[in-house]
Every structure is written in structure tokens, then in C-alpha cells.
Structure 1
Amino acid sequence: MNEITQKWFKEWSNEYDQTLGKIKRHHEMLDLTVEMSNVRNGECILDIGCGTGLLSLKFLKVAECTINGIDLSEDMLNIWKEKIDKLGLSNQVEIKLGDAANLEFEDSSFDIIASTVTLHHVKEKQAPLNTIYRLLKPKGRFVIGDLDVDTSGDLNDIKRLGHILGYLKEELSLALQDGGVDAFIRMYDNGKKHILNDGEYCVSFKTWSQLCKNAGFKKITVSAVKSFDWLKVLCAEK
């Protein structure tokens, strides 16, 4: 994640739960991520880009699990820490500053590694996927929820621009509908980053599937969020 994107998340941290946290399709993606992970009681989860804890809380509602969360935004983590203390979750959740591109854990540490709308901020994706595979226990699952939009390519390519604008037209309309003007403004600002490939390096889920195969994953399943099929979830089993 580049410095501009880190600054953007720092500025957004206090508004995150009141903007993205209110958008219906985002919660549907989080729910689908948990469902496809097939989480069980007693399992250990790594939440990459845990932010303010929206995904982790979904996991904790359906299973007696333990969670390690990492994020590059200290401001986001501070908000999540307040929730952990308020809800009495300190015996189940551990969080720390961490980079998705440099995961520092022992091999075979986790039953599930999950990440939602985070890994598209990492430009080089194969190396982190290789590390994720190594950190999973046998039969462990990697689950990613993200945009099924390929923003790579020449910035002057009209077809590329048209594809991104097709996504943004629906994204911005729903952001305004679900989260109001504040959510619209944030998503509009984010949309410009997709167009300029500036800290937002999205790839298609066809590419994500191939990256997972390259890392060694065998069983790969992809499902779309029913209300917004630009969002998809992939589960890859070790």
C-alpha cells in the first residue's frame, strides 16, 4: 500500500463505519466471506486488512474462534481496539500493525486467512499469495472478497476506462442510496484512484483464481454477491 493510500485511510478511519459500514452490499460480501470459509469452533483466523473489525465481528458471531488481525492503519486499529475492549473480546482477538505484502507469522499457523477489499491495494500479488499458502494449516482456507474489476492496463485505453466507469456508475448510485452523501463522496474519491491505477490495483477473479493455483491451492470456488455481482468471494483450500 503506497503512502497516499495510507493517508487516505487515516483520514477515512473515523468515518469508515458510518460510510462503508452502512453499505448493504458490503455487508453481504462480508457475510458471504464467512459463509464460504466454513469456519468452525476452535479455529484460528488471520484477518488481513482488518480495519475497524467489521469482518472479524462477523466471524465471531458464527463460531467460537480466535482471530489475529493486521492492518497498516493505526487509526483503524485504534477503533477496532475500542470495540474489542467494549465487547470483552480481548481473549479471542489480537491485533497489530502489519503489511499484507509482508506477513510475519510462522508456517501452518492458521485454519483460515481472510481478506476483504484489501489485497487490491497490493500491486504485486503472487508473493503474498505464496506466503498465505505457507501460513495455512493443511486443509486451511484462503478467502478473499473484493471487486471483480481489472483496472490494469494503459490509462489511455478507452475500453479499459469504459469498463471501470460501468462499475463506478452502479457503485456510486448504491453508495448514495445506502450510505448517503458522505459515502458517495468517499466512493467517488476512491473511484478516481481506480481510474488512475493509483493505489488501487484490482484484478479479475479469473486472475485471482490463477494466482491461487500458482501458489499451490487445489480446490477453488468463486461466488458473486447476489445484489451486486461486481463483488465476488473466492475460497481456496490448501
Structure 2
Amino acid sequence: MTDQVPRDTRAWFADWANEYDTTLGKVRRHHAMLDLVVSRSGVRDGDRVLDIGCGTGLLSLKFLERADCGITAIDSSEKMLGIFREKIEQCHLSDRIHLEERSAEDMAFPSHYFDIVASTVALHHVKEKDPVIQKVYDILKDGGRFVLGDMDLDTTGDLEDPRRIERILQFLQKELALAMEDGGIPAFERMYDNGKKHILNEGEYCIGFDQWIQLCKDAGFLQVEVTPLKDLSGLKCWWRGGRVRMVPRWRSSKGISGLGFSPGSQKT
């Protein structure tokens, strides 16, 4: 277990592990986002895929539904990985998926190693994002793709700034409604509890699309293409001619500032 992840954050995910698939895992728009990430990744047979913050394996398993690829999946939660490991054993996928207990900050892979790096609703838990995005840049092959699915929500600023709090509450209002609609009271309660963490920046450090774009450009990603989609949105940019994509779970109530998901394509 990495020391990079705060103890209370590790405890939060350990507590959530047994309920993850029956709360967030029941939210239809979350699954729509996962499907979109896999589709836009352009994954092919034989690709090496890294799933950062894999949790219980929802995204990794969708990659394997699409292609005969090899998955390396990392997460800092021992309990989340334990549940994922049970799924791997039940589905006889031990030759296709390799699990490692490590955080995004502790990634240690060879340069130009992966065809695809993907992460969904995980990297907003990382406080210092710059070095992580730089690592992603370094470990992607020429022609590789980075697909990032997360929320278009800016929680930066003074914790006591009323405008900041209003901005976050606007977003959470829709998120809570979606959780109740798809996952019932258990999902609502979990997301409601999580909302306070977003407001107080307790293990939740969300940034908006414009900030993600700048981080990717600073890391060396060269081009950004964005296309709005209903209820989901995404960002795609390139490093050394290659692409990165970001897909938030759903739009905030204030919209997505013209950002969306772009068509699939490889690095050139």
C-alpha cells in the first residue's frame, strides 16, 4: 500500500469496496461512460492496456469484452483489488489481467510500454496531478492513446468562497439525482456522503476540463479535439502526435463549456 494515498482516503475506499458494484456500479450513465471510453480508445487485439485506479474492475472487464488485449490494472485499495481478483478467478482471466496494488503517483513502468492508458473517476483523487500526467505521457507508445473519464467539476479555490460552494452544489444536485434514479437509496447515501468530501477537498480534488487540457499540454500532449455529447462529455488530445481522451461521467448543471468527446483515432 502506497504512502502517497492519505489514510482516510484508503479507509473510505476500503469501506466502499463491498458496495461499489451495487452503488456506482448501478448508475447507467457511469456504464455509458465506461463503454464510451473503451469505444474511443480504439483498443485492438494484442494491445497493452493500463487501467489506473481500476477499483473492482468495471472498466478492465469492458476492455476485454471488446478485444483480446492484455490488462495491467493498478489500485491503492487492497479490498477493491480483492473483489476484482475474485472476478478474474471466476471468469478465468488470470492470463489476461495483471493486478498491482499501487497508486497513480507510484506508477513505475517502462517508457513507451502501453498502447492505451485509461482511467475513470480515479485521477481526481490525486492532489498533485502534473507528475502523474507526465508519467502517462512517458509510458505511452508512439501511436498510443490515453483515455480519461472523470467529472467536469472545478473544486479549486478558497474552501470558504460562497461562489465555489455554489458551483460544487450545482453539480452535486444533478449527481445525487442520477444516483437515486439508478441506484436507489444506497447509491444516493454514498454519493451524498461523498459530496462533503468534494466541498472540503478531503481526498477529492476535481478540476475542470480547461485545467485538464492545460495539464495535458504541459506534459507534452500536442492537440485537443472536443465534441459535445448528450449527458456525457470528453476530451481528447495527443502526445507526440498521439491522443488522450477524457470523458466525464455526466455534465454539470452549468454545462461543459463546449467540451465533449472526440472521434477515435491513433497517434501519428
Same fold (TM over 0.5): yes
1:28 aligns with 2:32: yes
Q: Deviations over 1:146-199 (max 9, x none)?
A: 000000100111111111010111111111110011100100011000011111
**In structure 2, what is the equivalent of residue 174 of structure 1?**
178
- Determine the C-alpha separation between the residues in 1 that align with 2:230 and 2:123: 22
Q: Deviations over 1:10-59 (max 9, x none)?
A: 00000000000000111111111112211111100000000100000111
1:37, 1:235 within 8 Å by CA — same for their partners in 2?
no
- Determine the C-alpha separation between the residues in 2 that align with 1:19 and 1:32: 20
- Tell me the CA shift for residue 235 of structure 1: 3.2
- Tell me the CA shift for residue 220 of structure 1: 2.7
**In structure 2, what is the equivalent of residue 194 of structure 1?**
198
- Determine the C-alpha separation between the residues in 2 that align with 1:106 and 1:135: 6
- Tell me the CA shift for residue 236 of structure 1: 3.1
- Tell me the CA shift for residue 217 of structure 1: 1.1
Residue from 108, 112, 131 that aligns with 1:108: 112
- Tell me the CA shift for residue 224 of structure 1: 5.2
Tell me the secondary structure at the aligned position of residue 213 of structure 2.
Answer: helix
- Determine the C-alpha separation between the residues in 1 that align with 2:218 and 2:170: 30
Residue correspondences, number: 235
- Please state which structure has a larger fraction of its residues in helix: 1
Tell me the secondary structure at the aligned position of residue 104 of structure 2.
Answer: coil
**In structure 2, what is the equivalent of residue 118 of structure 1?**
122
Residue from 128, 137, 142 that aligns with 1:138: 142
Residue from 159, 166, 176 that aligns with 1:162: 166
Tell me the secondary structure at the aligned position of residue 166 of structure 1.
Answer: helix
Runs ≥4 residues deviating over 3 A: 221-225
The AA in structure 1 aligned to 2:133 is L
TM-score (norm 1): 0.95
- Determine the C-alpha separation between the residues in 1 that align with 2:8 and 2:225: 33
Alignment root-mean-square deviation, CA: 1.2
TM-score (norm 2): 0.85
1:32, 1:233 within 8 Å by CA — same for their partners in 2?
no
**In structure 2, what is the equivalent of residue 153 of structure 1?**
157
Residue from 56, 81, 90 that aligns with 2:85: 81
Q: How does 1:215-234 map to 2 (within 5 A)?
A: 215-223=219-227, 226-227=230-231, 229=232, 232-234=233-235
**In structure 2, what is the equivalent of residue 94 of structure 1?**
98
- Determine the C-alpha separation between the residues in 1 that align with 2:229 and 2:101: 29
- Determine the C-alpha separation between the residues in 1 that align with 2:56 and 2:236: 23
1:29, 1:233 within 8 Å by CA — same for their partners in 2?
no
1:110, 1:135 within 8 Å by CA — same for their partners in 2?
yes
**In structure 1, what is the equivalent of residue 236 of structure 2?**
235
1:44, 1:112 within 8 Å by CA — same for their partners in 2?
yes
- Residue ranges of structure 1 left out of the alignment (5+ in a row): none
1:25, 1:225 within 8 Å by CA — same for their partners in 2?
no
1:7 aligns with 2:11: yes
Identity %: 54
- Determine the C-alpha separation between the residues in 2 that align with 1:79 and 1:220: 36
